[in-house]
Amino acid sequence: MEELGKSTTVELRTSSVQGRHLFVPGTAAAEAVLLSVPLGQVLTAHRALGETPELAELGEDVPDRVVLLVYLILHRYVRQTNEWFTRLLPEHVPSAVALDDAALQSVANTPLYTAVQGKTRRLEQEFMALREPVQLLFGDAAVTWFTPERYLWADVVYRSRVMEGPFAGEGEEDDGQDQHVEAIVPGIDFCNHGSAPNARWQVRQGHVHLIANRALCNEEVLISYGDKGNQELMYQYGFALEDNPHDALVVPLASVAPSMGVAVKLMHIAQAKGCRPLIAFGKEDGPTNESYLFASLLAMDVDEVEAMDEREYDNILVSERAAKRVLLSILDDAAPPPAATAQQEESGEAGQQQYLAIYVKNLQATIAKARAILSS
């Protein structure tokens, strides 16, 4: 990790299971700084625009994420001005969004399948909208390096490595306050997730520090990616946990609303009540209270919901019987193919197939638990 300009107590190693990851080859005391990355080396959209001013010509309305995706493709495959970092990025990231058709079909009908299908369509639309502007900026040669496959690669790399924090560098401060932005932190982005993380990251004194939570000895450095269920872990990172206490079946309201008007209305109600626009079934607890509320609305007449006034949001009557009927229907639609678990277990393959099997197995258990609760 010498490229980061700081002596460290970690090594970058590679294995077939963990991929590239950080490892402590000796010992490190609790609270020791394992790695320090200057904020000037953190990859934000602001820094990308500073290194590649042409990207500003994509337009002011282009999201920071899109700026970074084009930057990653350009500097990985063309300019290589930040070569030490971009050359270490994996060519293949095992995100569910990058699944081949056969693997994706093994989770057909599930919320993960729906999310991947939706994401794929959005990426295709983004790429088509960007193709001509990118060619105008970088010339006809861009057609050889700015491709749909590489745009997918950049998005998967970005989502599997992005962190949000006070990473704003010089010229990015907002009225003297720490500005939270999304960024890729070179070096620390190679840390894998652990349910019992032995390290954490922290921004202070112009650096992003990787700090040991406890004494370490000849072991991999693990941080927490947050309290995420297997659906989100598979979608964003490409792995699932067998005993995930945060696992849940999550269905966006937009995917079950009978009309766009109802979908928009449900979004407004969720925002007014300070909750996420989701139908959610906990691994042990079944449907959340908000899920009963949204299910009651989904059971109502479409015109009645679309015409609902904001003043009525606090007086919505929850019909438990109607809500249960809707929730059971959602569970039926979310169930994976009956043979999915058996097919994946028989394959015996490690890695992605194994994680898909874990996702399906836990999803089936969550659905069974929710059905039992709703039928009681």
What was the pLDDT predicted at 175?
43
Query: Would you state the pLDDT for residue 5?
Result: 44
Range of the domain at 189: 2-42+185-223
Residue 312, pLDDT score: 87
**131 part of a folded domain:** yes
Helix ranges (DSSP H) in 194-239: 230-236
Distance CA 11, CA 167 (A): 24
CATH number of the domain where residue 193 is located: 2.170.270.10
Residue 3 is predicted with a pLDDT of 55
Last residue of a domain, one of 195, 223, 251: 223
pLDDT at residue number 176: 42
Q: Is residue 179 part of a domain?
A: no
Q: Is residue 324 part of a domain?
A: yes
Are 8 and 132 in a shared domain? Answer: no
> What per-residue confidence (pLDDT) applies to 147?
96
User: Does residue 176 lie in a domain region?
Assistant: no
Give the pLDDT confidence score for residue 325 in this predicted structure.
95
Instruction: Give which of 114, 58, 105 is closest to 256, Cα–Cα.
Output: 114
pLDDT of res. 134: 96
The pLDDT value recorded for residue 340 is 56
* φ, ψ of residue 198 in degrees (nearest 5): -100, 5
Question: Strand pairing partners for 200?
Answer: 211
pLDDT along the chain (376 residues), means of 10: 60 85 94 94 92 91 95 89 75 83 86 93 96 94 94 95 84 56 93 95 94 96 95 93 92 93 93 93 92 94 91 86 95 82 48 88 94 93
Domain count, the chain: 3
117: CB partners within 8 A, 6+ apart: none
Question: Would you state the pLDDT for residue 178?
Answer: 60
Give me the helix-helix angle, 352-375 and 320-334, nearest 10°.
160
In a domain, 231, yes or no: no
Residue 224: half-sphere exposure toward Cβ, Cα within 13 Å: 14
Would residue 312 count as lying in a domain? yes
User: pTM of whole model > 0.75?
Assistant: yes
Residues forming a β-bridge with 286: 282
Rounded to an integer, what distance in angstroms lies between the CA atom of residue 127 and that of residue 373?
Answer: 44
